[in-house]
Amino acid sequence: MEKDLQRFFEMSLRRLYSAENQVYDFLNVAAEKATLQQLKGLLVHHRKETALQVDRLKKIFEMLNYDLAKTKIGEAEGLLEKGKEVVKSLATMAFVGKSKAMEGAIEEAQEMAKHFEGSPVLDSILLCGGQAIELGEMAAYEALCLVAEECGMQEVLSLLKSSLNEEKHMHDVLMQLLKKELQVQKSA
């Protein structure tokens, strides 16, 4: 794989890894706020899927010999000593940081939900926020799938497609539930 394309792929994987970890945390908060049992169940289920997606991304990092503890892509692996897991974890988070796009989508969903806490439309707002998050994840997975396919990384592609299919399914289920909930709100 060409060097700049490899750097792009690695950076994109790191951002997606960050995004999935942010989503994992958000799903717990959203499930606590949701009032519809079906939505709560979906969010709890998708949190489990998200944990699997994070594991798949870690596996891809291992397969491609990308080190999550690196402080900079393409440079020395950092000055961390093995065995200092807390420091290593902090350094990883400092490099990976937060996916700004996902951070924005989550903050927007949380802000909207805060304005409608206790309102009958809260679940619809959580569903809309979930849609924005799912679409962002789908776009990231689709781009990575394309690069993996073009570069002949079949095992990586298979792992990415598994996660992409889960995201697409969640998007579809959220959309169906949102339509149903909006009809209920319209009739109220």
Per DSSP (E only), the strands in the chain are none
Angstrom distance (rounded) from CA 75 to CA 61: 16
pLDDT tens sequence across 59-110: 999 999 998 876 444 433 333 444 444 334 434 444 455 688 888 889 999 9
* Domains of the chain, earliest start first: 3-187 (1.20.1260.10)
pLDDT score for 97: 56
Q: Convert 49-67 to b/e letters by CB count within 10 Å (16 or more is b).
A: bbeebbebbeebbeebebe
pLDDT score for 7: 87
Q: Is residue 36 within 8 Å of residue 69, measured between CB atoms? A: no
pTM, 2 dp: 0.83
Give mean pLDDT, residues 171-178: 96
pLDDT tens sequence across 17-60: 999 999 999 999 999 999 999 999 999 999 999 999 999 999 99
Angstrom distance (rounded) from CA 55 to CA 49: 10
**Above pLDDT 90, what percent of the chain?**
67
